[in-house]
Structure 1
Amino acid sequence: MKHKLLGMTALAAVLTLGACGGGNNDAMDDAAGGDNDDQAPTTEETGDATETAIESDEAGDNPSGGKNEGMQETTQGYGFKDFDLEIDVDGKDAVDASYETKEDGTFEAEYENTLEGVDYGEDNQQDEAMNELDALFKEIVLDQNVTEEEAKKKILNALEIQDYTKFELEVKFEDGQNLNIQENK
């Protein structure tokens, strides 16, 4: 899909540059009363390719970000496709965060942080949950080489949690590796 989109974008760029190309004779032709319309493509001719490229965009392939910005970041920037975190403080749920990418490019996201009074667990709150997770993912930056201790420390620091009674983390990286932490105090 990306190659098709790039090809269509390149075609639109070439056609647009061609419209500007016609040389420096445009001003001379206009001054001389000449008509240069048959030398360069019109906006109508180049507009179709651009519109087709935008209309054929799918979730996760949105190069300009937009509504699926989190999805685009996840598939190209976070390095993992599934993330599941549960932290308890004093034996009670404190943070429950989950993110899962689907085969069709969509995602499911939930984020609950009782310490901050945040609960985005409903289906209609996917964008809010993804915004919270996006900020967390960009702050902790997990990759396949992170140790369990480093991952735990990054997450606890990002969430400003000093002490916990339960810490469970499962991350499935895009390359197939997994990171699993289960700790109860």
Structure 2
Amino acid sequence: MKYNMLGMTALAAVLTLGACGSNNDAMDDAAGGDNDDQAPTTEETGDATETAIEDDKAGENPSGGKNDGQSETTQGYGFKDFDLEIDVDGKDAVDASYETQEDGTFEAEYKNTLEGVDYGDDNKQEEAMNELDALFKEIMLDQNVNEEEAKKKILNALEIQDYTKFELEVNFEEGPNLNIEENK
């Protein structure tokens, strides 16, 4: 009887622990486990942020994603509005705009004729936001940036050496706004 009770207790403990499963990614990876129902981690992809933006469905990704032309914004760029226009040799080169709405949605447009990109239509919101998200993460503007530094960051990010017109308006959530108008 003593051995029956001990065996039943051991069996119950094993079943209880087995039913709990494992949420430890290191143990899963070491055991060769595959956890497809979770977003990729930095160890798996090298860059979880970009993969998450590409893989997630509507309303779940950091770049919005309702996919209806007006997406919810959760980016936290530090500004409410961003409007950029750059001309090269007197012709439109880059037109980019991002505007958040009171209800938490945003509108985005991105056109770069130097790269043959035009996401200006309402049905191209997701593509425009992906381009803008990459740009915003590269230039990292905040309310403390001066005009020359902001212009330099943007031109470097867009790989533009010379321009004939540079106009930028950024309305930050806190602090002074940034306005640059320069024609050569």
**1:180 Cα deviation after fit:** 0.3
**1:70 Cα deviation after fit:** 1.4
Identity level (%): 81
| 2:159 alignment partner, SS class | coil
| Aligned position for 1:70 | 63
Please give the alpha-carbon distance, in whole angstroms, between the structure 1 residues aligned to 2:8 and 2:178. Answer: 67
| 1:69 alignment partner, SS class | coil
| Aligned pairs for 1:42-53 within 5 A | none
Residue type at the aligned position of 1:153: K
Please give the alpha-carbon distance, in whole angstroms, between the structure 1 residues aligned to 2:10 and 2:98. Answer: 59
| Aligned position for 2:85 | 86
Unaligned runs of 5+ in 2: 1-6, 17-51, 66-71
| Aligned position for 1:160 | 159
Please give the alpha-carbon distance, in whole angstroms, between the structure 1 residues aligned to 2:88 and 2:104. Answer: 34
Please give the alpha-carbon distance, in whole angstroms, between the structure 2 residues aligned to 1:28 and 1:109. Answer: 63
Higher percent of residues as helix: 1
Residue type at the aligned position of 1:101: T
2:88 aligned with 1:95: no
| Aligned position for 2:23 | none
Query: Residues 120 and 30 from structure 1, CA distance in 2 versus in 1: closer, same or farther, beyond 3 angstroms?
Result: same
Question: Aligned pairs, how many?
Answer: 132
Conserved 8 A contact 1:74-1:80: no
| Aligned position for 1:117 | 116
Residue type at the aligned position of 1:111: Y
Query: Residues 28 and 78 from structure 1, CA distance in 2 versus in 1: closer, same or farther, beyond 3 angstroms?
Result: farther
| Aligned position for 1:148 | 147
Query: Residues 101 and 176 from structure 1, CA distance in 2 versus in 1: closer, same or farther, beyond 3 angstroms?
Result: farther
Unaligned runs of 5+ in 1: 1-26, 37-63
| Aligned position for 1:133 | 132
| Aligned position for 2:177 | 178
TM-score by length of 1: 0.63
Conserved 8 A contact 2:73-2:105: no
**1:78 Cα deviation after fit:** 1.3
Q: 4+ residue stretches of structure 1 with deviation over 6 A?
A: none
**1:77 Cα deviation after fit:** 3.2
Conserved 8 A contact 2:109-2:121: yes
TM-score by length of 2: 0.64
What RMSD over aligned residues (CA atoms) do the two structures have, in Å?
A: 2.8
